Structure 1
Amino acid sequence: MTATSSHSFEFLKSCVLNVSNLKSVTPSDCKVISALIFNKTKFIVSETTLKRIYGFAYSKFNPSIFTIDVMAKYCGYNGWDDFCEKHDNKTTKSDSVNVNWDTLNNKALKITNFTLQALKNKSGIPYNQTIKRGFIDDHFNEFLRGNYTATVFTAPSGYGKTIALCHWIDEKLANNFNTQSNDIVLFFSSSALMSIFLSGRDLNDWLLTLLGYTPEEDVMSLLDVNNRKEGNFYLIIDGFDEHMFKNDQFELMLYQLMDVFSFYQSQNWFKLVLTMRSSNWMNNKHTLAYNQDKWYHGFTTDDQSGDNVPLLSIQEIKELSNKINPANQSNITTDIANDFTNPLYFQFYYKQHKENFTLSHIDHFSIYELISTFILNKVYLGHYATEKILLLNGLIENMDFENRVYDLNKLKVNDLLRLYGHAYNELLSIGFLKEVNTSVESQFNTSVQFGNTNFLEFTIAAKLLNDSNQRFDSKLTATISGLFKNNERKVAVLKWCIIHAIKSNQQECFELLSLTELTPHEKSELIIFLGSLLEKMSVTVTHSESLSGFFKQRCTDELFYYFFGLEFININYKRTLQTLLKFELSASKKIITYTALAVIAIQQFEFNQLESYINKLKSFPAEEMQQFIINPLNCIDAIYHFFKYGIIKRAFYSDLTHFIFNPPQSTSAYNNPANDLIYLIAGYSLIICQHPKKIQRFINVIKRLNHGDNRDTSVYNFFLDMLQAEACHKLGNLKELNRIYHPVSDLYDNDGNTFTSYMKSMVYSLKIKRALLSNDYTKLGSYWRFIIQICDEYGHRLSATFIAETLLKSADFEELEPQLYKQVYYDYTKILRQAGLSKETFLKPIEALVSKS
């Protein structure tokens, strides 16, 4: 059909609906229309033919002349020619008078409002509870400020592109009405483009027909400056993605869209706006943006993926949460909120808790529940579930974990993709997988990637569990250690395996964790996760009898001591230790748990909590404390008195002196991680006395006590070295300090990501002490800023206070670095003021603080 006849045919289709008393058409209506046509004309137009005509079924060809003739006769005409003649005469008379910018605006507005309503109804969170995103205004402002014709919003599935765009269009339409703007917005989703391909028409022809005009007349109205009244015409297409079409369909739509772009790119009033997945942009930007000067790409957040839609900010998360439930103001930590910066995960969480929505209850385990629910519904259930799992397992088998290669060359896995073609397309459509083309002139390079790291890590864990017959055993832990040596995926994969083990009542998995090689940082991350997991198990009302009984069994030494170490101290570690107390612990294990909690309270200057833990320790019989070489209660109580009352308890430090000169002869019964923790607490309590030689003697005794111990003590020795460095600094022994400093500094420079936050604070404390002894003040400012950052994020107030005291007491510091001195003094007094402490306690002579008690 010609363009004119195509326009007439659209009108004929509308006439058929009017005669049939239908305002709109559904697939089931086609059977009714077929019967009505036969009753009136005695000619048959089948239900299938009508489905093709109205876009519910694919057709390679235009409808036959016979079909069109019958439809015209059904509408009261003699046939197609008679219909065209009468219709064209009518439209010529009316359109020649009425075709202008205003009528175009009215018709575009109807389509845009329909599209807006349809997309709003699909919103995972009710649209009226969603928020406007700030980035989109910045994007459009830059786009309209420049000499651009087109722009694109690119991000993976679920980033909130569509909802953000709907908010912008809503506001744009409201402004148009209030300011009498002449801008026109024609907005539709890519699903509407399917009818173009099914009808065999051209995109430009279809757009103009959609607006109710013939191409010749409509182009004239668009190009007429007087009619336009200086307004812009926005053609906005949401979700222009490959997975929505078959390959040949998408290619046809792509080239036709570029024809539209090419035709109007010289007109500064025409603006093309697209949203698409970032993988689709990477695959097709060579075609879409062939004229780079006319395309605005936005503020790219990731050059490799091409994303220009940012994740939710922490402020946006709070705003969104408060809009959903204004009565429940949510306060969450930054690290947990980071899990919900992905709008897709926020949406999952909302669906699970929409009856009483709040973010106050989320923790480190929540994100795993959300992803599990998504994968269950989108991958394990529904069409081609078995094929999806076989495909994903095959992709994992082709990865190179040793070299951290997770993106798969499509040429190498193409046979696998063809074998499970339907499953592959399903996984692409939900964003679980994506296909990225980064080919250059000399090399073809298309890779298959997972939609995000969470999906990748879950699938790796699922494959390893499948190979292990769904058992968490020593073989599995050995496999994980071997595959992911010094690999950032190790802990994430372990977490998924542990979740599976707990859900399948394999509680022995905790005991096997000690077989997995982990760095201190990895172990710290895993321990915090285990704390959240155990807490979830202890409070949920739906867990099985076996899980409920899990907390009633005796906690073995292997499981218990896995959770302990001075290096793990931070805000989140406290919750893990509190969860441990839900087990049936022995008295000695409870003592060491309360001691560790007390140390955290000291580090955070939480003295009300510290008093509570001291009272808990005092409630234990004296004989229970005697199993420890050094009484942990006396250590904690001495530190408490120093900070709370500015008193150094002479009796306790006399006991430590007696211990130094009269250590136990037999120590085999005392060699365990619990005593290691107490040794370190006692050693660091000696810093208060400011007797560096006593610190050195204490360290020598501790090392003799642990002589011959085969346990891994690298972290333990790290803290002993830090304690030794404190003594060296007080004694002014730069040579000995350098002996400690250089290997620690080299290790940190090469593997700093293996250090926990508390260990990092100790490293920077060491850097400051060395800088002061060597009179190198150049980097003190950057060192101090890092200390304050760690203090604010992880609660290491005690560390920051001691380091500040070291700087402020330095003889030349104020004179050589006056501005930095003021900043350190300000930060120092702020920390003490917030904790309710007096700086005089720290800065007065030590002799004035000694108590006879």
Structure 2
Amino acid sequence: MTSFLIQHFDTLKRLVLSDGGFKNISPSDCKALSLLIFKKTNQQISETTLKRVYGFAYSKFKPSLFTLDAMAKFCDYGGWTDFCEHNTSSKTKNHEIKDVSWHNIKHNADKITSFTLQALKNRSGIPYNQTIKRKFIDDHFDAFLKDDYTATLITAPAGYGKTLALCHWVEEHMAMNLLGLNDDIVLFFSSNALINVFISGKDINEWLLSLLGYGCEDDFSTLLDIKQKHKGNFYLIIDGLDEHMFKSEQFHLLFNQILDVFSFYQFHDSFKLVLTMRSSTWINHRHEIEDFKNRWFQGYMIGDDQAINAPLFNLQEIKELCTNINPSIQNFLGIEVADNFNHPLYFQFYYRQHKDDFTLNNVDHVCIYELISTFILNKIYLGAHSAEKMLLVKALVGKMDFATARYDVDKLKMNDLIRQYPQAYNDLLGIGFIREVNKSNDVQYNTLIQFANDNFLDYSIANTLLSNNQNIFNSQLIAIINESFKNERKVPILKWCIIYTIKTGQQESFELLAETRLSAREKAEIIIFLGDMLEKACVSLAKSEAMIQYFRQDCSDGLFDYFFGLEFINADYIKALQTLLRFELSNKKKILIYTSLAAIAVMQLDMNKLESYIVNLKNFPAEDLQSMALNPLHCLETAFYFLKYGIVKKEAFAELTSFYFNPPKSENGFEKTNTNDILYLLAIHTLSICKNPVKLLRFTRALNKIYKNDPEHLQGYRFLLQLITTDAHLQANKTTEGLSNYADTLILYEANKDSYTPFMKASFYLLKVKMCLYQNNSADLQQTMKSLVSLADQSGFKLIKVQALVFILSNKELLNINPDYYKQIYYDFIKLVRESGFREESFITNEVALAIK
């Protein structure tokens, strides 16, 4: 019997369609074709068999001889053997007269490459013409081609944009071919096509030759030898060579055959092999090229496991992509937005949701979580085997060791479930939700299962914890999170719990967030996120009746107090406070919000907003303002009139003097709340206007006797108070106390700086600038000032920046030591104050200004 040859079978399939009168064939045509074959040959080929023949249904076997004979007879041959003999002799004749030329190879390869390109373009989540070229791919190929390498790979997790980057490179390369700028052959196909290798029964070398129109008697060596007359390379490019696409034994066979092709042709200068694969596939199989490492270019690997050489988007690429999608938008991208959208997969999800009004300018902290939720809904919850997938995910989380932060799981521990639900497991691998990493060595088998990225890990942990807690957000759940997570996992897990809590109508439980043990930086992140979530829930057109009623009541005292703290000041914090105004708040709570917003306006030197908030406060009844621990309106008016007009109003100073001589007896004044923190720190900053450090120290001593003078409150309020009192001691010439306090503060800062908010860090830098001047340490001064300015500019802490500049300007000795630096400081000061609309004289004396000029 004549052997089965894929090129003969492909020819026969085309001939059957032609004789049957079909230009193209669809699944519905297979029934009609079956009837035509039966009428002519009296042999029945079922509709299902024809669907397998023409690729509409999967088949792991070659077609039977009966099927082949019936198809051949339909085309007027005696049978399959007769058809093969006729076509073999014809092929031989054609081969004798056909010149095996570089041009012929290129022509055949171009057809395959063009088809592959079009198929991959059509699958792009963002219209291909709006996608961008990636610089890394050009850098990668430049390095690959300039040295004596035969093969290379592009490796990264799913969703890093490997395929589209490669498509742009191939498309550009083929365009250069057409222009005569190179003479290369590019044979490019997706790993989906490699399934045909197993169907054909050939090895990949024979199969590739048949794709190019040559028989098994040829090999690439013959073709590549033609290169003596040409200057081009032969590129064999296989995209998406990944384990999850094949059965395990199939992948190993295929990968070994590809390595055989590489081994055979590695010393042909013109042969270049290019593969793309996921990091997990590369990690599991990179040991197989160990003997050929000097011939493989592995690119510029990043990451500890050295398995990624395709980087995420950089800021410039994000801007370029945004402009391609919507040329009319102005891109003002912050660092956090860039961090969220540097992942091509997430960018693609966002595009799908907003393609009609695309812009990143309105992105908030919630957006990335919504994108992950959409991905999980579509790929896991709504897909096939959804229940089995969730069982696997929860089992995987259940076998993690949270205490040691071990988030990968030995595959052997999951093997029973994997064998029970193999299709669900392969689906999770296929969509890139999980990955396998083989770290076996010569003494131990060690294959680990990991979630593909931190977002998927955090979501899965939060979902499992909620499920184990009957999907209730309560003190028990918070206690578990507090106990289990003392690292960077805690905040994102809490965020997922907050999302679930809002979507399931459990928002009344948010006051329990006070029970979470978080650093100041972590709490600031949660507050801003919660504010964004509540704002979205409030303005949503599809908000539930429960959410409508939630905002129609007063905000609970616990949740309201959770939002407050001077240490949280930044632009996003303003939005969080304004979200609270959507509740039906009491006058006291509204006063506290406007007070905090006004305090932020002072820190940002925003005169217009400060004046507006003062007007809002004046609209409240006097008795409501007087009921506060301290009247915030007096303090804010004092700051406004001094900064704007140079007028020192006495009301606030009189009240604060009375406070430290006769502390209030009202229990409200002593209550240890975050809202009272704001009022007392506002009072201390107001006292600094009178430039009398003794008064300030008296006030803080009186305050410490009655309010939060314990180690529990070293974060936030106590830390900021310690900075202020240290400065006051130095200004009052109480050198011993000042230096001692600074030494304690420095130790505290160095031990906890990673947990501090930007405002806390900027406030510390301000004290350090003053200490550098006090100790005549000009070397540290400029470096500290550089850190302060960078942080202040980034977060809008203009008052802190001005205070640092003024303190330097007040040190006239620096004018003699470094006059250029001193004058630059003065010009920066003038620019900042004038742009803010305040008086220069409110900060420096005429004597200082004249000395500089």
Q: Same fold (TM over 0.5)?
A: yes
The bucket for the TM-score relative to the shorter chain is over 0.9
CA distance in 2, matches of 1:775, 1:3: 91
> Match for residue 314 of structure 1?
315
Per-residue deviation, residues 749-773 of structure 1 (Å, max 9, x unmatched): 3332211111111222333333333
> Match for residue 533 of structure 2?
533
> Match for residue 192 of structure 1?
193
Q: Which TM-score applies when normalising by structure 2?
A: 0.93
Q: 1:367 to 1:24 in 2, by over 3 A?
A: same
| Contact 1:3–1:214 (8 Å) recurs in 2 | no
Q: 1:792 to 1:268 in 2, by over 3 A?
A: farther
Q: 1:100 to 1:645 in 2, by over 3 A?
A: farther
* Displacement of 1:178: 2.0
Q: Aligned letter for 1:343?
A: P
* Displacement of 1:840: 5.1
Q: 1:13 to 1:288 in 2, by over 3 A?
A: farther
| Contact 2:131–2:324 (8 Å) recurs in 1 | yes
> Match for residue 567 of structure 2?
567
Give the superposed CA RMSD.
2.8
> Match for residue 499 of structure 2?
499
CA distance in 2, matches of 1:252, 1:2: 25
* Displacement of 1:337: 3.5
CA distance in 2, matches of 1:409, 1:737: 56
> Match for residue 445 of structure 1?
446
The within-5 A match list for 1:479-628 is 479-484=480-485, 486-628=486-628
| Contact 2:191–2:239 (8 Å) recurs in 1 | yes
> Match for residue 94 of structure 1?
94
> Match for residue 16 of structure 1?
16
CA distance in 1, matches of 2:187, 2:621: 79
Q: 1:206 to 1:26 in 2, by over 3 A?
A: farther
| Contact 2:481–2:490 (8 Å) recurs in 1 | yes
* Displacement of 1:363: 0.9
| Contact 2:641–2:648 (8 Å) recurs in 1 | yes
Q: Aligned letter for 2:18?
A: N
CA distance in 2, matches of 1:195, 1:345: 32
> Match for residue 773 of structure 1?
774
Q: 1:104 to 1:22 in 2, by over 3 A?
A: farther
Q: Aligned letter for 2:445?
A: F
Q: Secondary structure at the match of 1:11?
A: helix
CA distance in 1, matches of 2:613, 2:229: 76
Per-residue deviation, residues 515-564 of structure 1 (Å, max 9, x unmatched): 22221111111000011011101211101111012111012221111100
> Match for residue 796 of structure 1?
797
CA distance in 2, matches of 1:45, 1:259: 38
The within-5 A match list for 1:346-495 is 346-484=347-485, 486-495=486-495
Larger mean Cα displacement after TM superposition, 541-550 or 741-750 = 741-750
> Match for residue 117 of structure 2?
116
Q: Aligned letter for 2:514?
A: S
CA distance in 2, matches of 1:806, 1:428: 59
* Displacement of 1:654: 4.5
Per-residue deviation, residues 368-388 of structure 1 (Å, max 9, x unmatched): 222112111211222211111
Larger mean Cα displacement after TM superposition, 731-740 or 99-108 = 731-740
> Match for residue 702 of structure 2?
701
What residue ranges of structure 1 are gaps of 5+ in the alignment? Answer: 849-853
Q: Aligned letter for 1:355?
A: D
Identity of aligned residues (%): 49
CA distance in 2, matches of 1:629, 1:61: 83
| Contact 1:52–1:198 (8 Å) recurs in 2 | no
| Contact 1:55–1:194 (8 Å) recurs in 2 | no
Per-residue deviation, residues 452-492 of structure 1 (Å, max 9, x unmatched): 111111111111111111111121111211112x2211121
* Displacement of 1:658: 4.0
CA distance in 2, matches of 1:709, 1:734: 24
| Contact 1:321–1:358 (8 Å) recurs in 2 | yes
* Displacement of 1:47: 5.1
CA distance in 2, matches of 1:22, 1:692: 95
Q: 1:379 to 1:81 in 2, by over 3 A?
A: closer
Q: Aligned letter for 1:767?
A: K
* Displacement of 1:360: 2.9
Q: Which TM-score applies when normalising by structure 1?
A: 0.93
Q: 1:539 to 1:516 in 2, by over 3 A?
A: same
CA distance in 1, matches of 2:260, 2:9: 23
* Displacement of 1:685: 2.5
Q: Secondary structure at the match of 2:507?
A: coil
Per-residue deviation, residues 51-93 of structure 1 (Å, max 9, x unmatched): 5555566666655555544443333333444434432333333
| Contact 1:99–1:218 (8 Å) recurs in 2 | no
CA distance in 2, matches of 1:592, 1:61: 75
The within-5 A match list for 1:54-203 is 54=54, 62-63=62-63, 65=65, 67-96=67-96, 97-203=98-204
Per-residue deviation, residues 271-320 of structure 1 (Å, max 9, x unmatched): 22222111111111122564112222222232326112222222322222
| Contact 1:432–1:451 (8 Å) recurs in 2 | yes
Per-residue deviation, residues 406-427 of structure 1 (Å, max 9, x unmatched): 1112223323332332221111
CA distance in 2, matches of 1:720, 1:143: 59
Larger mean Cα displacement after TM superposition, 305-314 or 36-45 = 36-45
The within-5 A match list for 1:640-719 is 640-650=640-650, 652-671=652-671, 672-706=673-707, 712=713, 714-719=715-720
* Displacement of 1:573: 0.2
Q: Aligned letter for 1:219?
A: F
| Contact 2:349–2:375 (8 Å) recurs in 1 | yes
Larger mean Cα displacement after TM superposition, 722-731 or 427-436 = 722-731
| Contact 1:781–1:820 (8 Å) recurs in 2 | no
CA distance in 1, matches of 2:450, 2:837: 53
The aligned length equals: 847
Larger mean Cα displacement after TM superposition, 823-832 or 364-373 = 823-832
| Contact 1:498–1:509 (8 Å) recurs in 2 | no
Q: 1:39 to 1:755 in 2, by over 3 A?
A: same
Q: Secondary structure at the match of 1:779?
A: helix
* Displacement of 1:847: 12
CA distance in 1, matches of 2:250, 2:641: 77
Q: Aligned letter for 2:784?
A: Y
Q: Secondary structure at the match of 1:356?
A: coil
Q: Is it true that 1:39 corresponds to 2:43 in the alignment?
A: no
CA distance in 2, matches of 1:2, 1:695: 102
Larger mean Cα displacement after TM superposition, 264-273 or 294-303 = 294-303
CA distance in 1, matches of 2:157, 2:826: 47
CA distance in 2, matches of 1:499, 1:81: 66
> Match for residue 237 of structure 2?
236
* Displacement of 1:34: 4.3
| Contact 1:100–1:227 (8 Å) recurs in 2 | no
* Displacement of 1:429: 0.8
* Displacement of 1:692: 1.8
Per-residue deviation, residues 348-405 of structure 1 (Å, max 9, x unmatched): 1121222222223321112222211211121122221111111111111111112111
| Contact 2:638–2:649 (8 Å) recurs in 1 | yes
CA distance in 2, matches of 1:818, 1:215: 83
CA distance in 2, matches of 1:497, 1:254: 43
Q: Aligned letter for 2:167?
A: C
Q: 1:218 to 1:382 in 2, by over 3 A?
A: same
Larger mean Cα displacement after TM superposition, 573-582 or 789-798 = 789-798
| Contact 1:461–1:494 (8 Å) recurs in 2 | yes
Q: 1:707 to 1:743 in 2, by over 3 A?
A: closer
CA distance in 2, matches of 1:225, 1:822: 72
* Displacement of 1:655: 4.2
Per-residue deviation, residues 598-619 of structure 1 (Å, max 9, x unmatched): 1111222222222211111122
Q: Aligned letter for 2:42?
A: K
CA distance in 2, matches of 1:364, 1:166: 32
* Displacement of 1:204: 1.3
Larger mean Cα displacement after TM superposition, 261-270 or 22-31 = 22-31
CA distance in 1, matches of 2:234, 2:393: 45
CA distance in 2, matches of 1:651, 1:557: 30
CA distance in 2, matches of 1:131, 1:578: 39
> Match for residue 851 of structure 1?
none
